Chain A
Amino acid sequence: MRLSAHVATKSVTFVSDVGGLNDHGYNEFTYLGVKAGATKDHIAWHVIQTQDPSQYVQNITTAAQQSGLVICSGFAMGDALKTVAARFPKVHFVILDYSYAPPLKNVQADVFDAQQSSYLAGVVAAGVSKTHTVGFVGGVDESVLQEFLAGYEAGALAENPKTHIKVEWTGSFTNEQAGKAAAQAEIAQGADVIYTAAGGSGIGGIDAAESAHVFAIGVDADQNYLAPKTVITSAVKELGKVAEDNIAEYVHNSWKPGTQVYDLANQGVGLAPFHGLAKAVPAQVRKKLAAVEKAIASGKVVVPTKPRFPNGH
């Protein structure tokens, strides 16, 4: 047993969720942040990849045995992390998109106000839609993902109250064909902008939008590169920044447990640039976006976290 090994030399271990390390989303951008942060602050870094949810406890335990800072990606690992954190009181743990009540003594829970960036996505969607019909393709219908829908529909209806919203859940974060089928059903009913919040499954939705020559809005990271003429913007979470912040605080002994909120005000969430599609976004929509962004950041506009129309509108 080398219980004090991590006290002598600091290191960070990233435990990825299922879906692969280069998933164009959660795992990938947290991983890149861990790598960048560890390099900048000169500490060793390791990665443990999860293939199956049954490995969560084992992987987080292995990480805690080798590093003083353990970063876990994704809300699905919440329960497993709670179990392991109690066994390693001296290790610092970080989890994204999950929080504990009451907070745990050695865990920093980093949550994103995804409803805020989704609101901006909704403004863009309603602003560029010619059919006044916009689509949403979600992964699994649970509270973390309902926030995306809540913000999106609020934003779309604020931009144009006559907007119709189509809602689909694929039941998966890996099934690209299901994401494609969902988007196709929405496009058949007139949707000409599709916002995907479904991990790998959502990438199928972007592909359906590309084939049908309608717009898509990416999620988590700037996904424009997946289909440059289709992905008009993306509702991003600054996953890399969160990883880098945690590493810097850990290295400089200023790391704190508790819940940390990343939102528009601290630029933890936001919209990706329009890239080559800027011309498709009318000037007054862009003006409105800037104003709305300010209003949300200052707290003047509070974005709901529960969808008003869970089955569409």
Chain B
Amino acid sequence: MSAEAVVTSGIATTLELSTPIVFGGLGGVLSERSGVLNIALEGMLLIGAFGYFAGAAATGSVFGGLAVAVASATASALLLAWLAVHAGADQVIAGMAVNLLASGLTDFLYQAIYGFAGTPPVPGMGAVGIPLLDRIPVVGASLFEQSLLTYVAFLAVPAVSFWLFRTRAGLHVLAVGERPEAADAAGLGVFKIRYLAVLASGVACGLGGAFILTQVNSFSSDMTAGVGYIALAAVIFGNWRPRGVLVAALLFGAFEALQSILQSLGLSVPYDLFLAVPYLVTIVAVSGFVGRVRAPQADGIPYVRN
């Protein structure tokens, strides 16, 4: 009831809502920095969520859930990579194909495997407190009492950032995404690097999907409900940089948490307008009003070796 409880809960909710956007956004950055446009984040997250559910239900363990989540989302990323890199398909269409496939396939498998007897309870991942830090007043219980996957997501941001901009392998990814012909001439395997980058986005989406599922421990049809598209918006708003993705994810998560709080305070807020915030700020970002965002030069263009 107290203001403190509202703030604590608001911060915790912000982090919970941001986590899948961070995972999806990092996946998007890795893939697009290599030159493969990734519209398929939504579908890969959904497959990751179902994968966790199926894996955890079958093995009875969190580890089994995570393993299947990552494996299945990576498999769907392999399909995208094959279409986009190998077959040279239009990457928007290839991405939408993966999304539609994910929606239909998870529905089908969910019904075929679990029927109507109610879903089996699956082991979830409770909040893990970080000793001492979680005792800080107000922010401690919200910042440092989170799912393990939330810590992983937020620590992955500097790690991916460092890897992408400061290591040889990361710079190879950037080269392939900007000037594939030059990279090829310099002896880099453009196809191989793009494949690996897209597969890495599958791993990130597998973890993000697992997080979404462990938030509620039950699967339902299309449960990702557009978070993959918000992650895509975070990639663009974040200027294809991991730190930018983090800022965007926190901003989008905070807006959604804020509208919840405003509603529960009894204020008449246009909640649908709040839910459109990620898309509105992305439109502002790409329109060039505030600063400039620039996509990798070869983003979305299949590489054809002459």
Contact = CB atoms under 8 A, between A and B. Distances in A.
B34 interface: no
A311 B267 contact: yes
A24 interface: yes
Contact of A174 (B8, B118, B221): B221
B104 A185 contact: no
Contact of B6 (A131, A189, A203): A189
Nearest to B107: A20
Given A131-B1, A169-B271, A19 B220 contact: yes
Interface stretch (A89-97, A175-183, A261-269, A294-302): A175-183
B59 interface: no
A182 B260 contact: yes
A164 to B, nearest CB: 9
Contacts of B6: 185, 188-189
A203 B218 contact: yes
B271 to A, nearest CB: 5
B215 A204 contact: yes
B30 interface: no
Contact of A311 (B222, B266, B272): B266
A226 B272 CA distance: 28
A187 interface: yes
B107 A51 contact: yes
B10 A185 contact: yes
Given A169-B271, A226-B118, A185 B13 contact: yes
Interface string A181-199: 1101111111100000000
A20 B260 contact: no
A207 B268 CA distance: 26
Interface in A10-46: 18-24, 28, 31-32
Instruction: Give the size category of A's interface with B.
Output: 35 or more
- Interface size class, chain B: 35 or more
Contact of A18 (B17, B221, B268, B272): B221
A22 B265 contact: no
Of A23, A32, A200, the most chain B CB neighbours within 10 A belong to A200
Given A20-B110, A168-B263, A178 B256 contact: yes
A312 interface: yes
B216 A203 contact: yes
B160 interface: no
Contact of B104 (A51, A174, A178): A51
B260 A184 contact: yes
Contacts of B293: none
B257 A167 contact: no
Nearest to A165: B266
A189 B223 contact: no
A178 B225 contact: yes
B111 A22 contact: yes
Nearest to A141: B271
Contact of B263 (A51, A133, A167): A167
A166 B221 contact: no
B217 A207 contact: yes
B116 interface: yes
Given A171-B275, A176-B216, A207-B215, A186 B221 contact: no
Contacts of B16: 177, 180-181
B111 A21 contact: yes
A182 B264 CA distance: 8
Interface in B97-129: 103-104, 107, 110-111, 114-116, 118
Contacts of A188: 5-6, 8-10, 261, 264
Given A28-B116, A167-B263, A188-B8, A180 B111 contact: no
Contacts of A133: 1
Interface string B188-231: 00000000000000000000000010011110111101110000
A207 B216 contact: yes
A177 B256 CA distance: 11
Interface of B: 1, 5-6, 8-10, 12-13, 16-17, 20, 103-104, 107, 110-111, 114-116, 118, 212, 215-218, 220-223, 225-227, 256-257, 260-261, 263-268, 271-272, 275
Given A22-B115, A181-B257, A190-B1, 6 more contacts: A18-B222, A28-B116, A168-B263, A188-B9, A188-B264, A189-B264
12 contacts: A51-B104, A167-B263, A174-B225, A177-B212, A181-B16, A184-B13, A188-B6, A188-B8, A189-B6, A200-B221, A200-B223, A310-B268
